[in-house]
């Protein structure tokens, strides 16, 4: 069990109740009740000028104590953490360990959520191939053409879902997680995986931190497509999908917006 010794962070509520004072992020980010299918929530951080990757090659340049606190709360609320393999590699993802602060968020559920990782190469961080203390394994979603030796090895350590074709489509991911009863999904990207969910119209919610920094040109946005990602948009989007601003918090100059899919968007 990991204890939480981080200094307290205050979130000021700006919306939906301006002037309401301090907000409890666990309440402000509760998933919808009575879900009947997986709800795909993304949590991403961008600079004020829209960049998602800083000089470190990751997002930590944009992070803050408040952003890390919210990230921890969102992980505590979810049934499964979903991530693209490049983010898992570059940010050194490991199996999540239970945290004391999660106990009230996870009553009746396992003490920590499993991670699901999407990969064609199956080049995965070792830390994701360990079982957690309860024996639960990482879910690996891959394609039939994945390297056979790696596939055999990953099968020994993980719950593997193999999809025919070149890509694991967002609909495959939703189905596989739904079959496992994992409805409260949190994806932390990266930008390429997120682009596929946006393009498929399967993103239900975007939690977007706007960090008070400028990154200038050259940094990818929180969604990015391009060569090597079949299905990802390479030109201007064909759709402009409406979303609703469901909440807005502020802490230490960072803004924490919660956008949900517009019910009229089909
Ligand atoms: N600002 C933020 O909030 C934020 C959040 C997350 C990440 N990041 C940054 O973003 C960068 C990484 O993100 P990224 O967009 O380059 O990569 P990504 O989306 O994390 O991962 C892409 C990889 O995921 C696998 N993948 C994606 N779609 C797939 C599909 N349909 N079928 C099978 N496999 C699929 C492939 O893995 P294989 O290569 O293994 O085949 C692909 O190379 C890092 O710099 C990270 O620090 C920023």
Q: What is the pLDDT of residues 78-99, one digit of tens each?
A: 999 999 999 999 999 999 999 9
More confident residue, 19 or 5: 19
Mutation probe of ligand 1 site: the residue of 43, 60, 192 with most atoms within 8 A of C-beta: 192
The residue whose C-alpha atom lies closest to atom 12 belonging to ligand 1 is 87
**14, part of any domain:** no
Domain that holds residue 96: 36-47+59-215+241-261
Average pLDDT for 31-54: 97
Our CA dihedral for 41, 246, 106, 181, rounded to 10 degrees, sits at -40
In the predicted model, is pLDDT for residue 207 greater than 80?
yes
Average pLDDT for 139-163: 97
Q: Quick one: pLDDT band at residue 235, thresholds 50, 70, 90?
A: low
* Residue 43's CATH number: 3.40.430.10
* Predicted pLDDT at 134: 82
More confident residue, 231 or 145: 145
Q: Quick one: pLDDT band at residue 226, thresholds 50, 70, 90?
A: low
Q: Which residues line ligand 1 (CB under 6 A)?
A: 44-45, 52-53, 57-59, 84-87, 90-91, 118-121, 123, 143, 167-168, 188-193, 196, 222, 224, 229
Average pLDDT for 187-192: 96
What does the alpha-carbon distance between residue 192 and residue 28 come to, in Å, rounded to a whole number? Answer: 27
**15, part of any domain:** no
**234, part of any domain:** no
Please give the tally of structural domains in the chain: 1
Q: Quick one: pLDDT band at residue 17, thresholds 50, 70, 90?
A: very high
What does the alpha-carbon distance between residue 210 and residue 150 come to, in Å, rounded to a whole number? Answer: 38
What does the alpha-carbon distance between residue 106 and residue 116 come to, in Å, rounded to a whole number? Answer: 18
* Bond preceding residue 16 cis, omega within 30 of 0: yes
**91, part of any domain:** yes
**28, part of any domain:** no
Q: Quick one: pLDDT band at residue 234, thresholds 50, 70, 90?
A: low
**266, part of any domain:** no
What does the alpha-carbon distance between residue 144 and residue 163 come to, in Å, rounded to a whole number? Answer: 6
Two structure tokens written together for 69:
């606190």
What does the alpha-carbon distance between residue 14 and residue 60 come to, in Å, rounded to a whole number? Answer: 25
């Amino acid at each position: 069990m990991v204890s939480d010794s981080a200094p307290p962070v205050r979130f000021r509520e700006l919306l939906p109740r301006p002037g309401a004072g301090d907000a409890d992020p666990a309440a402000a980010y509760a998933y919808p009740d009575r879900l009947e299918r997986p709800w795909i929530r993304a949590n991403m951080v961008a600079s004020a000028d829209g960049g998602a990757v800083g000089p470190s090659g990751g997002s930590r340049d944009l992070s803050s104590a408040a952003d890390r606190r919210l990230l921890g709360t969102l992980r505590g609320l979810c049934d499964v953490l979903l991530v693209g393999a490049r983010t898992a590699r570059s940010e050194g993802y490991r199996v999540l360990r239970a945290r004391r602060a999660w106990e009230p968020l996870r009553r009746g559920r396992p003490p920590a959520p499993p991670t699901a990782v999407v990969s064609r190469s199956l080049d995965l961080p070792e830390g994701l191939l360990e079982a957690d203390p309860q024996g639960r394994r990482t879910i690996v979603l891959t394609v039939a053409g994945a390297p056979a030796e790696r596939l055999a090895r990953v099968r020994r350590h993980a719950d593997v879902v193999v999809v025919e074709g070149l890509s694991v489509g967002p609909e495959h991911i939703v189905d596989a997680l739904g079959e496992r009863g994992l409805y409260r999904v949190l994806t932390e990207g990266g930008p390429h995986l997120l682009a596929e969910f946006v393009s498929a119209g399967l993103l239900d919610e975007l939690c977007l931190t706007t960090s008070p920094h400028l990154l200038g040109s050259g940094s990818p946005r929180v969604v990015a497509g391009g060569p090597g990602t079949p299905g990802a948009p390479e030109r201007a989007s064909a759709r402009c999908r409406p979303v609703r601003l469901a909440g807005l918090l502020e802490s230490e100059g960072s803004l924490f917006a919660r956008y949900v899919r517009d019910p009229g968007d089909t």
